[in-house]
Amino acid sequence: MAAAWERKRVLIAVRTYPVPATKSIEASCTAGITEDGKWIRLFPVPFRLMAADNRFSKWQWITTDLIKAADARPESYKLNSDTIVAEGILGTDGGWRARKGLMRTLMRPSMCCIRREQDAQGYPTLGIFRPSRIKRLVLEKAEPKWSDAELAILKQDDLFQKAPSQTLEKIPFKFMYDFDCSDPECRGHSMSCTDWEMAEAYRRWRGKYGNEWEPKFRARFEREMIHKNDTHFIVGTVHKHPKNWIIVGLFYPPKQATADLFDL
């Protein structure tokens, strides 16, 4: 039986920096939590091409029409952006109490545990956990410009959509975290992070501080994530490489006096 469109209410928890996409000029991987407490991936989302009334923010509830995507990952759905109805943003009162309440049932003990679950049953392909130790943030230089093929995709026009007037900026760095998870057999992990917030912070601070952007960036995404915040990583698999995991979102309530962030 062919998949059918269905209407769902989703809390947006993840939004990655866009990449060139043949079918939609550019697209961002977006993920969230359904009303019944399950992960859902919305891809592709051509955010900058969407009408202003249909755009949404992280931690905002939206209701939209969805259909199962042609993607082996069970959490992946395609959305009809013209049907989006956005509600208010879920705030951070009480040390992110409301957000933590929704994340609680999705928590896993470790990255190693998430990998074992996927190996055993084919899913999940999204997850959240608290690293036991963040060792460092790595800034790895990347190609500073889009390739000719990527640039052609970003500038394509057709009858149904027009490329944005300002071409998507290429981020000339790959942001990575080296960390340990709490699994007793963990040998450490190094994973790239594609969170939209990091890329936008780089763009903003490079524009404001020029060549002095890095200290500000590290203060926010390294020192604060290690010492100030109770940092969790939201992770997801790569479509074309289903065994490869990356950090797609950062969940970072302030550290509390209680032993466990999810002791509400």
CB-based contact 253:242 (threshold 8 Å): no
Tell me which fold the domain 6-89 belongs to.
Answer: OB fold (Dihydrolipoamide Acetyltransferase, E2P) (2.40.50)
pLDDT at 264: 40
pLDDT at 53: 80
Q: What is residue 110's three-state secondary structure?
A: coil
Output helix, strand, coil percentages for the chain, rounded to the nearest 5.
25, 40, 35
What does the block give as tokens for 254?
């302030």
- d(C-alpha 167, C-alpha 184), whole Å: 46
- d(C-alpha 263, C-alpha 231), whole Å: 15
The DSSP 8-state label assigned to residue 126 in this structure reads E
148-168: string of b/e by CB count within 10 Å (b at 16+)?
A: eebeebbeeeeeeeebeeeeb
CB-count burial class (<10 Å; 0-12, 13-18, 19+) for 144: exposed
CB-based contact 134:231 (threshold 8 Å): yes
pLDDT at 48: 84
pTM for this structure?
0.93
- CA distances 60 to 89, 148, 197, Å, are 4, 36, 15
The percent of residues above 90 in pLDDT, for the chain, comes to: 75
pLDDT at 61: 96
CB proximity list for 75: less than 8 A, separation 6 or greater: 31, 38, 39, 40, 41, 123, 124, 125, 126
pLDDT at 67: 95
pLDDT tens for 5-34 read 999 999 999 999 999 988 778 888 899 999
Q: Which of 44, 58, 48 is nearest to 15 (CA)?
A: 58
pLDDT at 223: 98
| Per-domain residue ranges of the chain | 6-89, 93-251
pLDDT at 106: 97
Query: Which stretches of the chain drop beneath a pLDDT of 50?
Result: 259, 264
